[in-house]
């Protein structure tokens, strides 16, 4: 028997903002080492779902279990779980007054209590890995959007996450800069990183994802192998969505 480690398990997750129910009972699991892409129209609850996985939003009902820890348990060590999760947003959210190197060092020093020399070494390793090592002493504003997003990825990786969440990481980029970011993400996937990725990049999802999940109206409409969900969708809502984006 092989033991498959569940990185994330989401059970009957509901999330409301006031009277607006945004997530209406989501069940979704991601095994360790898997890449799962979430697709779906704007407003379907994709960002809210990701934000519930690291408790940037508090679920209204249901369970989110990360590496066996029930996040909604009162005695769950939420900060410890959050340290295991890296998140990359559409907007890169780099600190504008810090250099690229400082951006990748700060959380290592503040949160993980790494010393300066170690934090710098790990920062440089990860900046090299995403192809922006030469920009270590630049400020974010001096970088292209694609370079800034790769710095944001390096910053997350420097924390040694067990799970990476990406929320439309290429949506704010000029088209010619999208490829460099996707290349970094593809490399991460090949190295075995567990990834939950909200994206409109169907070619990327088809090629890299183990599974594709189509969400609409706060529910999972379809969840299956990328080839099936994108190549041969079973539901009319999925087909309609894909016709619009492909």
Please name the helix (run of DSSP H) or strand (run of DSSP E) that holds residue 120, with its range, or none. Answer: helix 116-129
Does 170 bind ligand ADP (CB under 6 A)? Our answer is no
CB of 38 to ligand ADP, least distance (A): 8
Judge residue 197's burial from the number of C-beta atoms within 10 Å of its C-beta, 0-12 exposed, 13-18 middle, 19 or more buried: buried
Among the residue ranges 40-48, 58-66, 103-111, 133-141, the one whose residues contact ligand ADP (CB under 6 A):
40-48
**In terms of CB distance, is 16 or 32 closer to ligand ADP?**
16
Binding letters toward ligand ADP, positions 48-87, x by CB under 6 A: x---------------------------------------
Name the site residues for Mg ion (rule: CB under 5 A). Answer: 46-47
Which of the choices ligand ADP, Mg ion, none does residue 95 contact, using the CB cut-off of 5 to 8 A by kind? none
Does 164 bind ligand ADP (CB under 6 A)? Our answer is no
The whole-angstrom separation of Cα 31 and Cα 7 is 5
Does 146 bind ligand ADP (CB under 6 A)? Our answer is no
CB of 241 to Mg ion, least distance (A): 15
Please name the helix (run of DSSP H) or strand (run of DSSP E) that holds residue 8, with its range, or none. Answer: strand 6-17
CB of 129 to Mg ion, least distance (A): 27
CB of 55 to ligand ADP, least distance (A): 14
What is the DSSP track for 88-102?
Answer: E-SS----TTS-HHH
The whole-angstrom separation of Cα 26 and Cα 115 is 41
Among the residue ranges 39-47, 134-142, 182-190, 236-244, the one whose residues contact ligand ADP (CB under 6 A):
39-47
- Tell which one of 43, 68, 115, 192 touches ligand ADP (CB under 6 A): 43
The whole-angstrom separation of Cα 19 and Cα 21 is 6
CB of 215 to ligand ADP, least distance (A): 7
Chain centroid offset of residue 91 CA = 13
Please name the helix (run of DSSP H) or strand (run of DSSP E) that holds residue 183, with its range, or none. Answer: helix 175-190
With both helix axes pointing from N to C terminus, report the angle between 116-129 and 100-110 in degrees, rounded to the nearest 10.
130
Could you tell me the strand order of the sheet in which 211-216 lies? 85-88, 163-167, 194-198, 35-39, 211-216, 219-225
Residues near ligand ADP, by CB under 6 A? 17, 20, 22, 40, 42-48
């Amino acid at each position: 028997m092989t033991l498959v480690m569940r990185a994330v398990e989401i059970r009957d997750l509901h999330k409301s903002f006031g009277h607006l129910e945004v997530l209406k009972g989501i069940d979704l699991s991601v095994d360790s080492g898997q890449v799962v892409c979430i697709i779906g129209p704007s407003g379907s609850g994709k960002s809210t779902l990701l934000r519930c996985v690291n408790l940037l939003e508090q679920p209204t009902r249901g369970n989110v279990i990360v590496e066996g820890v029930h996040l909604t348990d009162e005695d769950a060590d939420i900060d410890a779980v959050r340290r295991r999760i890296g998140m990359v947003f559409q907007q890169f959210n780099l600190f504008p007054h810090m250099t690229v190197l400082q951006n990748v060092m700060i959380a290592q020093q503040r949160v993980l209590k790494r010393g300066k020399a170690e934090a710098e070494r790990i920062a440089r390793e990860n900046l090299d890995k995403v192809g922006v090592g030469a920009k270590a002493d630049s400020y974010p504003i001096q970088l292209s959007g694609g370079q800034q997003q790769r710095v944001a990825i390096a910053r997350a990786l420097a924390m040694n996450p067990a799970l990476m969440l990406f929320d439309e990481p290429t949506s704010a980029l000029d088209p010619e800069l999208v490829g460099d970011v996707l290349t970094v993400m593809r490399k991460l996937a090949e190295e075995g990183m567990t990834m939950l990725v909200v994206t409109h990049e169907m070619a990327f999802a088809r090629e890299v994802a183990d599974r594709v999940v189509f969400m609409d109206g706060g529910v999972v409409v379809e969840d299956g192998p990328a080839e099936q969900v994108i190549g041969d969708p079973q539901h009319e809502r999925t087909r309609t969505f894909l016709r619009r984006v492909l």
